[in-house]
Structure formats: C-alpha cells, structure tokens
C-alpha cells in the first residue's frame, strides 16, 4: 500500500465536476438526457476576445510573462475594482491566476495554518470545504435556512466562531441559491468582522455581473474598515463565457499578497500572455455580458414560473447567477431525487447535499442551457411530478 498524502487522499471528489462528466458521457449514449449539472455558460466566448488571443499568439506573445500578470491587465483590473467595486486596490495588489478556483486555493493556503478554522456558508460552492481541508484547515459550515430566504445573521456567524477561526468565505451572487447580498446580510458580516479583528474575509464575486433583481452586487471590500482584511476573488469564466480559458484573479493587502506570491511562484509561475491580453479585451465587453445576462433572466423567469406551479416542488426566485435551487417534497433525499429525475425524467441536476444543504431536499439545475432544453425539462418534470402525486 503506497503511503500518500492522507489529507489530499481523503478529500471528496467534486460532485458537480464528477456529475457533469458522467452526464456528458451518458448523453453520448442517450441524446434525450437534459444536462443541467454544469456551472458553465452555454454561450460562445465573444468573438473580439478570441480574435485578440489569436492575434497575440500569432505575434509571438507566447513566452513566460511577469509572474503576477502583465501590467496592462493588472492596471485594467485595478481600474475595474476601483470604479465598479469601490475597492481601491493598486495594480501590484492584484494577481492573475489560472481560474478563480485556483485563486481561492492560493488565498486559503496563504491564510490558514493546520488546525485553523474557516467558516463557509451552506448552501455554498462545493469546493470551499475541500480547499480548506487541503490546506490542513477545518471547514465550519454555517447552515443558512430556506425559510429565512438564506439570510445571514450575526448570531449564526457568531455561533460558528471559535478562537481558531481565521477566515470567513462568502460568495455572492451565490452558487447554488442565486441569492445576492442584502443590506442586512452585509451588516451582519460587517458586525462579525468588526467583532473579530484577527479574522480575514474571502469574497468570491465570480457571478457579480449576473444579477436580475434585488440588490446591486456590492463588494465587502468597499467597506473602508474591512478593506485591508478582505481578499477579493473573481474571474472571467462566468461573465464572459470563458470557462475553458482558465483565467481568474485575486486582490488583497500587501501582507497577504507577499505570502500568496510565494506559493504562486513555486506552483504556476504565470498565466499565459496571449490569454491575459485577451482578458484586457474582455474587460471592455460589458455589452456582451449584458446580452447574456438578459438571456439568463428570460430563462430564470421561465423556470421559476414553470416550477413553482408543480406539485411537490418549490423554488426560490434567483436574484443572480444562473442556477435554479429547487426544493422537492417526494419522500426521498436529494441524491435519490436526482437519480429519480435522471432515470425517469432524463433530467440531470446536482443534489443539494453536495452544497451542504442538509435540512431541505434541494437540487441545483443550471439554466445556462438553451430555452428548448429548459422547456423540455419543465415538460418532463411536470409529467413526473403529476404522476407521483
Ligand atoms: N467560485 C464559484 C462560486 C463558482 O461557482 C465557480 C465555478 O463554478 C468558481 C469559483 C470557479 O471559477 P473558475 O472557472 O474561474 O475557476
């Protein structure tokens, strides 16, 4: 028996990534399967962005670049963070990473020592607890409640706090619930952070441009007394349909940055130059982002109106991101519901348990899928649920 790294060997595989791959393989055999597992825009990357990458590659911008990112991109990101997010980071506080996921990993590695605790909010993105565990930290979930519209309270955060707490991770607009930070959520987080000056805040803002109603996406880094302790993570995958480009970034204080850079230098060196040049172009593509957002909004309305009227199912109205978070009352747990929907209705979603939702039976369906597919999903779901009733 090989003696491998126990901490890593014991990590659970990412359920959404595994299910997405499994469903894609099943679709090869059965074209009628409706795959709503992936957190991936179904739109093509805007033409201008691809053109720029191609031109840069042809012109020979194909070697190592400045480690933390090319100056042009870091400057553009600093400008974006300052004007859009009111987060006044300097360009040398910004690191360009291969995807936001790696930025989360770097930040968590840089902050936690073995045994330190990091609080994450459930339901929440599947990778946070595993990334915390990979760094030797201990994930502590705060279970927000469906009945309370997944509102954050100071008391709930406080209950999760211990002397070992070093980090709070938040993600808004949220994957999987589609919630956006409300003013009262922000206040609860700010109060918690002010009560614990040795805790850092990691704010994953990857869905910031995909918002429909409710509140604006306001970054916690814009709160002046929290700025120094906030690490922003963001990326190009969702806003610009660039999942396969693997481009993200983080911004943080100089002190944290210098630690993050050590790990970055020894594990990645830099991201590719022609992709970074194309990322500069992407930052000027807000019209394309807005077109996609409007499409997602139409699909959100379609699913919300369709699912709410079905027996045995309920849905929160997503305020952002592109996920339908649906609660089922079928006398099965969320994995059983997913198996049932796939086997009997050809609908593939991700079970809520993967996101730490333990109380309610929920399933996440991505509506980054065509309207035709979503209409087919509604038809199949209606047939199943009315039969079940
Ligand atoms: N953060 C959240 C909340 C996500 O949902 C995802 C992707 O699904 C990521 C980060 C990772 O994004 P990237 O493709 O930039 O690694």
Tell me: pLDDT of 374 over 90. yes
Distance 294 CA to ligand 1 centre (A): 21
Q: What's the pLDDT tens digit per position in 282-307? A: 999 999 999 999 999 999 999 999 99
Tell me: pLDDT of 254 over 90. yes
Total tally of structural domains belonging to the chain: 2
Residues 134, 212: Cα–Cα separation, whole Å: 35
Residue written as token pair 């700025």: 227
137 and 224 part of one domain: yes
Q: What's the pLDDT tens digit per position in 329-344? A: 999 999 999 999 998 9
Does any ligand 1 atom lie closer than 6 A to the CB of residue 203? no
CATH assignment of the domain containing 209: 3.40.640.10
Q: How confident is the model at residue 369 (pLDDT cuts 50, 70, 90)?
A: very high
185 and 136 part of one domain: yes
Residue 29: per-residue pLDDT: 87
Residues 107, 249: Cα–Cα separation, whole Å: 11
Q: How confident is the model at residue 162 (pLDDT cuts 50, 70, 90)?
A: very high
Tell me: pLDDT of 214 over 70. no
Give the structural domain span for 192: 47-283
Token pair recorded at residue 170: 């938040």
Tell me which of 283, 298, 314 is where a domain ends.
283
Question: Is residue 6, in this structure, part of any structural domain at all?
Answer: no
Distance 101 CA to ligand 1 centre (A): 5
ipTM for the assembly: 0.99
Residue 282: per-residue pLDDT: 98
Count other Cβ atoms within 10 Å, centred on residue 168.
26
- Per the CB < 8 A criterion, the answer to whether 385 and 313 are in contact is yes
Token pair recorded at residue 299: 């699909």
Share of the chain residues as helix, strand and coil, in percent rounded to the nearest 5? 50, 15, 35
State the average pLDDT over residues 254-276.
Answer: 96
Distance 243 CA to ligand 1 centre (A): 9
> Considering the entire predicted model, what is its pTM?
0.95
Residue nearest to atom 6 of ligand 1 (CA): 101
Among 97, 105, 127, 132, say which to mutate for ligand 1: greatest number of ligand atoms within 8 Å of CB.
127
Residues 172, 241: Cα–Cα separation, whole Å: 18
Residues 45, 108: Cα–Cα separation, whole Å: 29
Q: Of ligand 1's atoms, which has the minimum distance to the CA of residue 174?
A: 3
Distance 41 CA to ligand 1 centre (A): 12
Distance 206 CA to ligand 1 centre (A): 6
Q: Is the bond preceding 374 in cis, omega lying within 30 degrees of 0? A: no
Tell me: pLDDT of 240 over 90. yes
37 and 118 part of one domain: no
- Per the CB < 8 A criterion, the answer to whether 137 and 186 are in contact is no
66 and 33 part of one domain: no
30 and 123 part of one domain: no
Count other Cβ atoms within 10 Å, centred on residue 262.
12
Q: What's the pLDDT tens digit per position in 109-161? A: 999 999 999 999 999 999 999 999 999 999 999 999 999 999 999 999 999 99
The two most distant CA atoms of the chain are separated, in Å, by 63
Distance 386 CA to ligand 1 centre (A): 35
17 and 77 part of one domain: no
208 and 60 part of one domain: yes
Residue nearest to atom 7 of ligand 1 (CA): 39
Does any ligand 1 atom lie closer than 6 A to the CB of residue 271? no
Q: What's the pLDDT tens digit per position in 72-116? A: 999 999 999 999 999 999 999 999 999 999 999 999 999 999 999
Tell me: pLDDT of 215 over 80. no
Q: Is the bond preceding 123 in cis, omega lying within 30 degrees of 0? A: yes
**Residues ≥6 apart with Cβ < 8 Å to 35:** 20, 23, 24, 27, 348, 369
* Residue among 167, 146, 145 nearest 155 (CA): 145
Q: Per-residue DSSP letters for 277-335?
A: HHHHHHHT-HHHHHHHHHHHHHHHHHHHHHHHTSTTEEE----BTTEEEEEE-SSS-HH
155 and 110 part of one domain: yes
Residues 131, 44: Cα–Cα separation, whole Å: 29
Q: Of ligand 1's atoms, which has the minimum distance to the CA of residue 39?
A: 8
- Per the CB < 8 A criterion, the answer to whether 354 and 366 are in contact is no
Distance 246 CA to ligand 1 centre (A): 10
Task: Return the higher-pLDDT residue of 372 and 217.
Answer: 372
Residues 181, 295: Cα–Cα separation, whole Å: 22
* Residue among 305, 376, 357, 388 nearest 147 (CA): 357
CATH assignment of the domain containing 365: 3.90.1150.10
CA contacts within 13 A on the Cβ side of 130:
17
208 and 314 part of one domain: no
State the average pLDDT over residues 64-75.
Answer: 95
192 and 155 part of one domain: yes
């Amino acid at each position: 028996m090989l003696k491998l790294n126990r901490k890593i060997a014991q990590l659970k595989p990412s359920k959404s990534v595994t299910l997405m791959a499994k469903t894609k393989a099943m679709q090869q055999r059965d074209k009628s399967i409706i795959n709503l597992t992936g957190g991936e825009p179904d739109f093509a990357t805007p033409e201008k962005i691809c053109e720029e990458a191609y031109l840069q590659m042809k012109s020979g911008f194909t070697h190592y670049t400045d480690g933390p990112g090319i100056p042009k991109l870091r400057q553009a990101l600093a400008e974006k963070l300052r004007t859009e997010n009111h987060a006044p980071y300097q360009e040398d506080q910004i690191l360009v990473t291969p995807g936001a996921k790696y930025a989360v990993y770097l930040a968590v590695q840089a902050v936690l020592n073995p045994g330190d605790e990091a609080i994450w909010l459930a339901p929440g993105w599947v990778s946070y607890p595993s990334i915390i565990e990979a760094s030797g930290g201990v994930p502590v979930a705060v279970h927000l409640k469906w009945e309370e519209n997944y509102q954050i309270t100071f008391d709930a955060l406080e209950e999760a706090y211990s002397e070992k707490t070093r980090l709070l991770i938040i993600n808004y607009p949220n994957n999987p619930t589609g919630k956006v930070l409300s003013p009262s959520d922000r206040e609860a987080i700010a109060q918690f952070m002010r009560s614990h000056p040795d805790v850092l805040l990691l704010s994953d803002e990857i869905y910031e441009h995909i918002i429909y109603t409710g509140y604006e996406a306001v970054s916690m880094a814009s709160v002046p007394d929290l700025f120094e302790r906030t690490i922003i993570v963001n990326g190009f995958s969702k806003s610009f349909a660039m999942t396969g480009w693997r481009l993200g970034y983080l911004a943080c204080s100089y002190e944290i940055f210098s630690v993050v850079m050590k790990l970055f230098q020894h594990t990645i060196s830099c991201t590719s130059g022609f992709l970074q040049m194309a990322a500069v172009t992407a930052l000027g593509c807000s019209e394309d982002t807005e077109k996609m957002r409007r499409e997602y909004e139409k699909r959100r309305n379609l699913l919300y109106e369709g699912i709410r009227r079905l027996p045995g199912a309920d849905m929160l109205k997503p305020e952002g991101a592109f996920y339908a978070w649906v609660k089922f009352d079928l006398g099965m747990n969320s994995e059983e519901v997913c198996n049932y929907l796939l086997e009997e209705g050809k609908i593939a979603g991700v079970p809520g348990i993967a996101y730490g939702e333990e109380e309610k039976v929920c399933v996440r369906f991505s509506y980054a899928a065509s309207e035709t597919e979503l209409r087919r999903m509604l038809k199949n779901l209606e047939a199943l649920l009315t039969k079940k009733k």
